[in-house]
Amino acid sequence: MSDKEPTIRVLAQNRKARHEYEILEELECGVELTGTEVKSLRNGGGSIAESYAMVRKDELWLIGAHIPEYKQGNIFNHEPDRDRRLLAHRGEIEQWYKRVKERGMTIVPLTLYFKGARIKLAIGLAKGKKQYDKRATMKERDDRRDIERALNRRR
């Protein structure tokens, strides 16, 4: 790793997203935050487990993400569950909006992380999985694990 590559520190992950949805495409975008939100995230707070993203008036918005209030904040502290604007190129937003209008497609936040000094959010264009798809994914993962165990025993 060279000196110019920014370090990545994960703040929050949406672990259920890959189980509940089939991720078709991923996009990294910035998040418009206030100062107390950034300080709260630096302290290790934040959750994107129950959140989602949507396009409103040609802008991408993160809805339902929880960033707790900054403990040393004052009267200018932020609201923990407010909607936050996501920063992406207009062409990408328009392209994703066209695909979201299709039946069964949604935008799901995957990971919230620091990339250098900036806070980024990885979002995924997703299609909901059926119950039998979830079971098949779990069976494949269990089979892979069993094969790895068998190979390790032979060594």
Could you give the number of structural domains in the chain? 1
Domain that holds residue 70: 8-128
Q: What is the pTM for the complete model shown?
A: 0.76
pLDDT band of 1, cuts 50, 70, 90: low
**CATH number assigned to the domain comprising residue 33:** 2.40.280.10
The reported pLDDT for the residue numbered 123 is: 92
d(CA 16, CA 13): 9
d(CA 76, CA 62): 21
The reported pLDDT for the residue numbered 50 is: 87
User: Does the residue 151 lie in any domain?
Assistant: no
**Of residues 109 and 12, which shows the higher confidence score?**
109
**Of residues 88 and 131, which shows the higher confidence score?**
88
d(CA 84, CA 65): 8
Render pLDDT for 35-87 as a digit per residue (tens, 0 to 9): 888 888 888 878 888 888 989 888 999 999 888 888 887 787 888 888 999 99
The reported pLDDT for the residue numbered 3 is: 62
CA neighbours closer than 13 Å in the CB half-sphere of residue 36: 14
| DSSP line for 64-131 | S-B-PPPTT--TTPPPTT--EEEE--HHHHHHHHHHHTSTTEEEEEEEEEEETTEEEEEEEEEEEPPH
User: Does the residue 19 lie in any domain?
Assistant: yes
User: Does the residue 116 lie in any domain?
Assistant: yes
User: Does the residue 43 lie in any domain?
Assistant: yes
Render pLDDT for 83-117 as a digit per residue (tens, 0 to 9): 999 999 999 999 889 888 877 788 999 999 988 88
User: Does the residue 39 lie in any domain?
Assistant: yes
User: Does the residue 135 lie in any domain?
Assistant: no
* Other residues' Cβ atoms within 10 Å of the Cβ of residue 49: 14
User: Does the residue 147 lie in any domain?
Assistant: no
pLDDT band of 2, cuts 50, 70, 90: low
User: Does the residue 31 lie in any domain?
Assistant: yes
